[in-house]
Amino acid sequence: MAEPHVTLGQPDLGPAPEKLRAPLEEQLSSALRRATESVSNDYNGESVDEIAGRLLSETRSALHPDIADAFQPTPAEMRRVAEVIVSRH
């Protein structure tokens, strides 16, 4: 499976927030990769929706609470990663 990556989609940021984009994307991507590995290793026949929920929960638990609260991926994004996990088992 290709490693999941988070890309922030705010095109018109000022100079200061723009400098923070890459480190924040890396932090979010790293948390999502860890969650993906953990959920995949613990997969036990759950549905795609259950896996997507676990991915979101585990990703958020690896982040600072302020960042976790602001992390709002679309359900379709999490579902794509969950579908890959389910299809591999």
Kindly state whether residue 52 falls inside one of the protein's structural domains.
yes
Render pLDDT for 2-49 as a digit per residue (tens, 0 to 9): 678 787 776 666 777 778 888 999 999 999 999 999 999 999 999 999
Q: Is the pLDDT of residue 1 over 80?
A: no
For the chain, the maximum distance between any two Cα atoms, rounded to a whole number of angstroms, is 46
Kindly compute the dihedral angle of the four CA atoms of residues 39, 40, 44, 45, in this order, to the nearest 10 degrees: 110
- For the entire predicted model, the pTM comes to 0.85
pLDDT value of position 2 = 61
Render pLDDT for 63-79 as a digit per residue (tens, 0 to 9): 999 999 989 999 999 99
For residues 68 and 28, give the distance between their C-alpha atoms in angstroms, rounded to a whole number. 9
Kindly state whether residue 69 falls inside one of the protein's structural domains.
yes
Domains identified in the chain, total number: 1
Kindly state whether residue 37 falls inside one of the protein's structural domains.
no
Q: Determine the structural domain holding residue 67 and report its residue range.
A: 45-89
CA-nearest of 89, 25, 81 to 55 is 81
Kindly state whether residue 61 falls inside one of the protein's structural domains.
yes
Kindly state whether residue 6 falls inside one of the protein's structural domains.
no
Kindly compute the dihedral angle of the four CA atoms of residues 80, 82, 5, 15, in this order, to the nearest 10 degrees: 70
Contact 33, 4 (CB under 8 A): yes
